[in-house]
Amino acid sequence: MSLRVAVQMDPLAGINIDGDSTFAIMLGAQARGHRLWHYGPEALSYRDRRVWAAARPVTVQRVKGDHARLGEPEMLDLGRDTDVVWMRQDPPFDLGYITATHLLERVQGETLVVNDPEAVRNAPEKVWVLDYARFMPPTCVTRSLDVARAFLAAHGEIVVKPLHGNGGKAIFKVGRDGANLSALLEVFNMTWREPHMLQAFLPEVAEGDKRIVFVDGEVTGAINRLPGAGEIRSNLAVGGSAEKTALTAAEEEICAALGPELKARGLLFVGIDVIGGKWLTEINVTSPTGIVAIDRFNGTDTPARIWDAIEGRLR
């Protein structure tokens, strides 16, 4: 089965081919004889009741500085000219991202969009996770300084982060004295119109923040991400490092609760974050990462699992 695959993502020139999950997925597709096109979300158009993308055919190879060779742009009718559309651009999960889901939803049924755009739109990573609050640390979502002060008083130390942020950006720890809380809320309220997420600080984060990856509702692997020196954030994008890990009993319980719902929603490739072996903090459905490190530690081939799942659905 040779598939026509359009990949909606950020510019290829700037990716780190040693760790980029989308690049690994593209390599896996190419190894199976699938044809690839690349385009950014700004290249989407709706015309004549069809959804189009100005896309460029691309071949990829694991050669730094020469990892992607792009052809001339073509106007693809995403419903008729492709078999699979990957939505893999990085957040922020803003109106541009949401609009892309609305457009791609119009081709779902003619072609397979991964992850399902309606499900992505309805599962913001720090909002949908509230459905699983029984697994989460104490959490508050607010713009109110009074509510934030009460939450800090109840939990001693907290972290404050944007509700629709990504990659560990703009995550702050506030100590017991709350000296900077009012100034921080002022900045957050001026920067974002939506409320913000506050969570009890988990000292266990010093021992790592585990990324667990699902493919079609099944766990395919995990890594433990350790914070860099002087950091509370363990995201690889902000200097964290990865180590091999296994799941705890509590993490297996979380995965058992999540897996069937991910599959039912058409969320084929998902990453969740767990701290301290038991505290679920995020469900990443927009552009999850981590599979390159997982495969390196475990000798697995997650892109192959992903393409097996896609090909199975198309059959």
pLDDT digits (tens, 9 = 90+) for 112-163: 999 999 999 999 999 999 999 999 999 999 999 999 999 999 999 999 999 9
284 part of the active site: yes
Average of per-residue pLDDT values in the chain: 95
116, 216, 251, 282: the active-site residue? 282
282 part of the active site: yes
56, 121, 210, 211: the active-site residue? 211
Query: What is the rounded distance in angstroms from the CA atom of residue 313 to the CA atom of residue 315?
Result: 5
121, 210, 225, 265: the active-site residue? 225
Query: What is the rounded distance in angstroms from the CA atom of residue 240 to the CA atom of residue 297?
Result: 16
Least confident segment among 28-32, 169-173, 220-224: 169-173
225 part of the active site: yes
121, 126, 210, 305: the active-site residue? 126
Q: What share of the chain is helix, strand, coil (3-state, %, to 5)?
A: 35, 30, 35
Q: Judge residue 182's burial from the number of C-beta atoms within 10 Å of its C-beta, 0-12 exposed, 13-18 middle, 19 or more buried.
A: exposed
**Does residue 55 register a pLDDT over 60?**
yes
User: Whole-model pTM?
Assistant: 0.94
265, 273, 295, 305: the active-site residue? 273
Percent of the chain with pLDDT over 70: 97
- pLDDT score, position 104: 98
157 part of the active site: no
Give the residues across from 35 on adjacent strands.
Answer: 4
Mean pLDDT of 232-242: 67
**Does residue 235 register a pLDDT over 80?**
no
**Does residue 238 register a pLDDT over 70?**
no
Q: Where are the beta strands (DSSP E) in the chain?
A: 4-8, 35-39, 44-47, 50-60, 68-70, 74-77, 84-87, 112-114, 139-142, 158-162, 172-174, 196-200, 209-215, 218-226, 241-244, 269-275, 279-284
224, 284, 295, 305: the active-site residue? 284
56, 88, 121, 161: the active-site residue? 161
